[in-house]
Structure 1
Amino acid sequence: MELEAIPGVGAKTAAALRELDDPADTVESGDVAAIARAPGVNEARAARIARGAIRRRHGDDGRVLATDRAREVYREAIDLLRERTVTDYAAKRLETFYPSASASRIDEAQSFVESAIERDPDPAVCEALAGVEPLTDPPTVRVRDRCLATADAETLARAESTIPELSVETVEDTRDVSELARSYATVIVLDEKFAGLDVEGDVHVRPDALDEPAETVPERLLAFFAANRERLEAAAAVHEAAAAAGDPVADDDTAADTDALRDALARLDDDGTIVGDGELERLTAAVDDLDAAVSTAESVADDRLREAIRERDVTIEGTDFLSLVEQGARVDSLLDRELADEYDEAIASAREHLVDALRLEPEEAELAERVFGGDPSFPVDHDESAVSRLNTELAAARDRRAARLKAELASDLGELREPVASLVRDALELDVELALARFARDFECAMPEVVAPESSDSGFRIERGRSPLLDVDFADAEPVDYAVSGATLLSGVNSGGKTSTLDLVALVVVLAQMGMPVPAESATVERFEEVHYYAKSQGTLDAGAFEATLRDFGDLVEGADGRLVLVDELESITEPGASAKIIAGILEALDGQDATAVFVSHLAREIRDAADFDVAVDGIEAAGLVDGELRVNRSPRKGHLARSTPELIVEKLAGDRDTDFYGDLLEKF
């Protein structure tokens, strides 16, 4: 797939997407988290890319939402869905759903949604989801104890690109390799010509090292798991909670082994180092504590010598003293002559303390013995070269063991790499599904039937629909039945629900063409090519704005087949008499075209009189006034011109007052 062919993807974005392991499949999958791992692509951008890929796959080049108010209804629908997500990922992922005129896209979305709304939003699962986030790639880890070596310039360049964690050194011969082995705990030679190399140190000839980065630099995989520990543990908790609730996220055959994951993570520290291995901990502590242990051992020996000197008299005859001075004797000579045995015991105690403090093994203890010895002295001094040698040996042993344990753990984690990616992805997708399930339950939704434009069920039909966009609790919203095919005027009293009915129609159509459930007992919706929803104007327009509005409607009626047109009180843009004629003209242009239109107007009678065809008129009927409150049947009555609020008030007064004035006034309506 050509990435640049995706709507909204330019050369720069395509270049970033190509940094992904499998850019085409990743983009096609619609996995927002995976797409967002491309450099410079955030989740919001990733959602737009995924949506563009979906459009391309279904040949969906149209834009159903044709007006600002139609787009507002879509945003309100998305917000209702997003409010029911737990993770940021799910909130972004829901934006890959959009109103489509493509039958294949609607079918695809409905298939996903129908399965999703069968899920049970268990509270324990929702709580566990709070910790789930998309997996992240940690920064490159620099490994100092190991290097790659090669004599080939091309191999060197490939090594630096493939394994940036390790230094890559140039070697010409065995001597160069041997020198590297004195500087690094491990040297990995990449050239086949060095096979059979025999040098001192931990040197391996591995021409395939660049093809197996997980083995060559296990720190990469360990850093990944360490950086994502909390995400992985949260995802595992989601799967376990879902399974306990009887609604597993994945099949047993494909589910990751969460016990194996936790066991592996228990062997890994947050910085990517190995934990839980006693021998590695001993060697690490020995290296870290060596200098302090040597200093303490010196103090132990000094204390022994001081005690020995206090407990005995050291007597030197005058001739002996003169002889020693003439010979330039120092304290060590005096110690050697007078306190030889005590000095040996003090040195032995220093060595014993060093071995015990560092918990040295027998072969390591032999090196430790060389730290103290030589010429007697007070205070006791150590051999710095022996300390350095011991430190080198301990550090090398530590690094070798760490490398082996890292390789073993990386091998175990390598087998989990793909399963845990699915573990997290499935948990995030579960949040999307549960949000859909909560939406369907909260608003008592049903899956609509979306029919082709040429179907006999053209237009829309809504049974017992309730709008969640009203400024009342959803439970208090009155259900509405309404169906329209063709062009229709909707009349009714003020505050009778005409605008909210248009909002309900727009919401049901938008949700249906997104593939979503709709807040109704049942609904059938034509697959509209475009939805034009014009909100009520906030006042009479000036000449320029009025002309622009007429231009919009002139464009609208040109080839209106397959369109849904919802217009709320267009008469407010100019004088009532002119408005009635304009609306009548628009309806005449729409009549005979394969379009569905609902025009809300208080001028239904005048519009009907001005039109040159039999305009369908529906009415939201008021039952009357009860204690000053308007009582309304919210479902529009077909073929009925609803009475206005003033008419109802006059009618009430005519019944209440014994006078001809109100009766005569009522006859004028």
Structure 2
Amino acid sequence: MDVREVPGVGAKTADRLAELDDPEQALSEGDVAAIARAPGISDGRAARIARAAIRHRHGDDGEFLATDRARELYRDALGLLQERAVTDYAARRLETLYPSASESRVAEVRGFAERAMGREPDPDVLEALAGVEPLEAPGDVRVRDRCLATSNAEAYSAARDAVPEMSVELVDDARGLAELARGYSTVVALDERFAGVEVEGDVRVEPRALDDPERIVPERTLAFFARNRGPLRAAAAVAREAGLDAPLEPDALDDALAELNDDGTVAGDEELRRLTDAVDDLDAAVSMAESVANDRLRAAIEDRDVTVEGADLLSLVERGAGVDSLLERELADEYAAAVDAARDHLVDALDLADHTDIARRAFADDPTFPVEHDERAVSRLREELTAARDRRATARKRDLAADLADLREPAHELVDAGLELDVELAVARFAADFDCTMPTFEGRGIAIEGGRSPLLDVPFEEVEPVDYGIEGVALLSGVNSGGKTSTLDLVGLVVVLGQMGLPVPAESARLERFEALHYQAKSQGTLDAGAFEATLREFGDLVVGSDRRLVLVDELESITEPGASAVIIAGILEALAEGDSTAVFVSHLAAEIRAECTIDVTVDGIEAVGLEDGELVVNRSPRKDHLARSTPELIVEKLARGGDAEDGAFYEALLAKFDGGESR
């Protein structure tokens, strides 16, 4: 699939998607996780792109939901699914599921949903999923101890693009390399002409270094795994708990991550820890070594009686000598012992067995009091330790990064598998929570048995099951608050879910393949002339053409006067009956509408079987070919049966006006 063929994908987005390893495959499969790995593409944007790509692949015009109420019903259904997703990713991924007129798309999702319904939503798996999220590529990696060097402007530009984490320097000759080597622990020269040049410091000539940037910047790989440590470990736990066929062994991933600190440095390397501590503690250790020497020398002076004869004192003064000369003459051994003690303390405190010579130079042999360190020697020691630390760190980073690099793509696959599992489990939980079944698609019309709407404002287990079937056009009558609108919602919801390819909340459901759903919600009061005309135009457009539509209309009579409404609705039903539409109109004017119709229109009824403590007792499943009695009729009937002889005749006469509520 060509990226630019997908509706809504402009040039900038196409350029971003082009940076993926296989953008065509990601779009073809509607792979939200892969699409979201493109730079600047959020999960939400990825879901929209994936949905557009899916529609494009199936030749779907995306116009199944033809009215605001139909779209609202879809959003409600989607919300029920998303509430059962653990991860934000799964909630976004579920947005790629939508009701479609494309048979191939519905079949594709049905296959997915049937597999998902076989999943068991294990609590341990759901708990582990809470930590899984799409992996991020860290963009804040900076390497300051190494640099790239080249004398070629073209190579300079290529290096800056390939390795933005490191400084890239232009040099003319070996002298330039030498200057860089004094400021960096390692210099990687890209020019082959520098091969054989001897420069003090760690200078490496690697003309092909840019072919594998992660080898010279292992921090890139390590930062990726350090940044994503939590999601990776969570994904490994999901794979273990769910028994997923993982692309890598979860325990092996955990072991590899254990070698990495949170900041991307290598964990568990005692030699690196020793060198790091030595650099960090050097100044404190030098200061303490000075104290050791001075304390020891002071004690030696206090314990000795030093006698200076007059001639010697005069000679020392004439030569301008001070206490240093006195120490050298009278306390040479004690001073040497004090300095040795300082040197030993410095070596032992920082564990500098392999840097003993340079460490001991930190304290000179020339006597002085108080004893002081040689700053140049300490600086040199610091440089040596820092370079050793950085070389060790880089070597260990390279080794660990080499091991982890092979796990990077499988790690993505592992996390993607966990996220997709969450999508499946959301469908499985939806199906289990609402006692769903997969509908069948055959014939004309709709037949629902044991349907229960999860959209009602009561606990689902308290929802009464409804049986209802429709073929052609029908009027649905019934008492106020008897469940007409909820039945209409149930029909719409079952069709929406069925044409999403998902299970429906019913014991069984047989559906027609519709090309569009038109659901006209109940109007809030009589419409003015302009709004009334616009509504009629909508129905005028609706009855034109031969599309197999499902039309659900709730109390259209409220848009104008009852007499005119009956005539208008009758005309609409006649026009729909001539086409391929299936329609249900909820109305309190069923009898009047039927009287105006020139066709034999079906009237179904949600029957109230009586009043109990002032509350309606209702059979929620509509009776076929039955005009339901109204609430006023039920009240009059109750009064007629319970009244005394004096007023009973009045109520009987009123009840007769209703014609007994018989089917007609």
Shorter chain as denominator, the TM-score bin is over 0.9
CA deviation after TM superposition for structure 1 residue 49, in Å: 1.2
1:258 equivalent in alignment to 2:220: no
CA RMSD of aligned residues (A): 1.6
Q: Cα distance, 1:89 vs. partner?
A: 1.1
For the residues of structure 2 that align with 1:46 and 1:265, how far apart are their CA atoms?
Answer: 29
User: For 2:469, which of 467, 483, 487 is the aligned residue?
Assistant: 483
Q: CA deviation at 1:98?
A: 0.6
> What is the rounded CA distance, in whole Å, between the counterparts of 2:499 and 2:62 in structure 1?
13
Aligned ranges for residues 78-227 of structure 1 at < 5 Å?
78-227=78-227
Q: Supply the distance in 2 between the matched residues of 1:207 and 1:77 (Cα, whole angstroms).
A: 59
Q: Shift in Å at residue 499 of structure 1?
A: 0.7
The CA deviation string for residues 417-470 of structure 1, in whole angstroms up to 9 with x for no partner, is 11111111111111111111111011000011234xxxxx11211111000111
- Separation (CA, whole Å) in 2 of partners of 1:567 and 1:632: 22
Q: Does 1:527 align with 2:519?
A: no
Residue 562 (structure 1) aligned to one of 519, 532, 548: 548
TM-score, L = length of structure 2: 0.96
1:544 is matched with 530
- The 3-state SS of whatever aligns with 2:504 is coil
C-alpha distance in structure 2 between counterparts of 1:28 and 1:380, whole Å: 76
Tell whether the 8 Å contact from 2:339 to 2:365 is kept in structure 1 after alignment.
no
Q: Does 1:297 align with 2:286?
A: no
Which residue of the other structure, out of 343, 346, 368, is the alignment partner of 1:351?
343
Q: Do structure 1's residue 422 and structure 2's residue 408 form an aligned pair?
A: no
Q: 1:459 aligns with which of 440, 445, 452?
A: 445
Distance across 1 between alignment mates of 2:616 and 2:640:
17
> Hey, what's the Cα distance between the residues in 1 that align with 2:234 and 2:103?
38
How far off its partner does 1:21 sit? Answer: 4.0
Aligned partners of 1:182, 1:414: CA distance in 2, in Å?
31
**Alpha-carbon contact 2:336-2:365 (below 8 Å) kept:** no
How far apart are 1:84 and its partner, in Å? 1.1
* Per-residue CA distance 1:359-407 (angstroms, 9 max, x = gap): 012x410111211124211011222221122111111111111111101
Q: 1:19: how far off?
A: 4.0
User: Where do residues 267-346 of structure 1 align in structure 2 (5 Å cutoff)?
Assistant: 267-346=259-338
* Secondary structure, aligned partner of 1:168: strand
For 1:454, the equivalent position in structure 2 comes to none
- Alpha carbons 1:560, 1:590 under 8 Å: kept: no
Name the SS of the counterpart of 1:325 in structure 2.
helix
**Alignment pair present for 1:371 and 2:362:** yes
Whether the 8 Å contact between 2:449 and 2:467 is mirrored in structure 1 is yes
Paired residue secondary structure (1:260): helix
Equivalent residue, structure 1, for 2:661: none
Kindly provide the amino acid, as one letter, of the partner of residue 660 in structure 1. Answer: A
Structure 1 equivalent of residue 591 of structure 2? 605
1:226-274 deviations in Å (ceiling 9; x for gaps): 11111111111222222xxxxx2x22xx442222222222221111111
CA offset digits 1:325-380 (Å, max 9, x no partner) = 1111122111111111111101110110011011012x410111211124211011
* SS of equivalent residue, structure 2 residue 307: coil
The 3-state SS of whatever aligns with 2:144 is coil
Deviations 1:83-118 (A, max 9, x none): 111111111111111111111111111111111111
Hey, what's the Cα distance between the residues in 2 that align with 1:274 and 1:627?
Answer: 75
Structure 2 unmatched runs, 5+: 659-664
Separation of aligned partners in 1, 2:321 and 2:23: 81
Take 2:462 and 2:281, find their aligned partners in 1: how far apart are those partners?
72
* CA distance, structure 2, for counterparts of residue 320 and residue 660 of structure 1: 149
Q: What's 1:493 paired with?
A: 479
> C-alpha offsets along residues 499-525 of structure 1, whole Å, 9 cap, x if unaligned?
111000000000111111100011122
Q: Which residue does the alignment assign to 1:17?
A: 17
Deviates more, 1:6-15 or 1:587-596: 6-15
When residues 62 and 234 of structure 1 are mapped into structure 2, their CA distance, relative to the original with a 3 A threshold, is: closer
Is it true that 1:400 corresponds to 2:398 in the alignment?
no
1:391 to 358, 362, 382: 382
**Matched residues in 1 for 2:296 and 2:89: separation?**
68
**Equivalent position amino acid for 1:637 in 2:** R
1:380 to 364, 368, 371: 371
Q: Is the 8 A contact 1:580 1:606 kept in 2?
A: yes
Report SS of the residue matched to 1:144: strand
For 1:28 and 1:167, how far apart are their aligned partners in 2? 40
After TM superposition, give the deviation of residue 77 of structure 1 in Å.
0.5
In 1, the alpha carbon distance for the partners of 2:529 and 2:472 equals: 31
Q: 2:501 aligns with which of 510, 515, 523?
A: 515
Q: 2:617 aligns with which of 631, 643, 650?
A: 631
Q: Percent identity?
A: 68
Conserved 8 A contact 1:140-1:164? no
Residues of 1 paired with 2:6 and 2:512: CA distance?
28
331-340 vs 500-509, greater mean Cα deviation: 331-340
- Find out whether 1:72 has 2:63 as its counterpart: no
Please state how far the C-alpha of 1:560 moved relative to its aligned partner. 5.0
| 1:33 Cα deviation from its structure 2 partner | 3.5
Partners in 1 of 2:437 and 2:587 — Cα distance? 30
- Give the partner amino acid of 1:667: A
What TM-score do you get using the length of structure 1 for normalisation?
0.95
Q: What does 1:239-250 align with in structure 2 at a 5 Å threshold?
A: 239-242=239-242, 248=243, 250=244
Query: Residues 266 and 275 of structure 1 are in contact (CA less than 8 Å); yes or no, is this contact kept in structure 2?
Result: yes
* Secondary structure of the structure 2 residue equivalent to 1:602: coil
Q: In structure 1, how many angstroms separate the alpha carbons of the residues matched to 2:191 and 2:270? A: 36
User: Residue 383 of structure 2 aligns to which amino acid in structure 1?
Assistant: T
**How far has the Cα of 1:4 moved from its partner?**
3.4
Determine the C-alpha separation between the residues in 1 that align with 2:404 and 2:395: 14
Aligned length: 655
CA deviations over 1:120-165 (Å, ceiling 9, x no partner): 1111111111111111121231111111122221111111001111
Greater mean deviation of Cα atoms: 551-560 or 313-322: 551-560
Distance in 1, matches of 2:236 and 2:269, equals 25
Partner of 1:438: 429
Q: Report the Cα distance in structure 1 between the residues aligned to 2:213 and 2:511, rounded to whole angstroms.
A: 55
Kindly indicate whether the alpha-carbon contact (under 8 Å) linking 1:62 and 1:529 is maintained by their aligned counterparts in 2.
no
- The residue number in structure 2 matching 1:666 is 655
Counterpart of 1:421 in structure 2: which amino acid?
H
Partner SS state of residue 188, structure 1:
strand
Structure 2 counterpart SS, 1:488: strand
Cα deviation, residue 20, structure 1: 3.6
The equivalent of 2:662 in structure 1 is none
Name the SS of the counterpart of 1:599 in structure 2.
Answer: strand
What corresponds to 1:655 in structure 2? 641
Distance in 1 (alpha carbons) for counterparts of 2:372 and 2:614:
105
Answer whether contact 1:140 1:220 (CA < 8 A) is retained.
no
User: Partners in 2 of 1:607 and 1:326 — Cα distance?
Assistant: 134
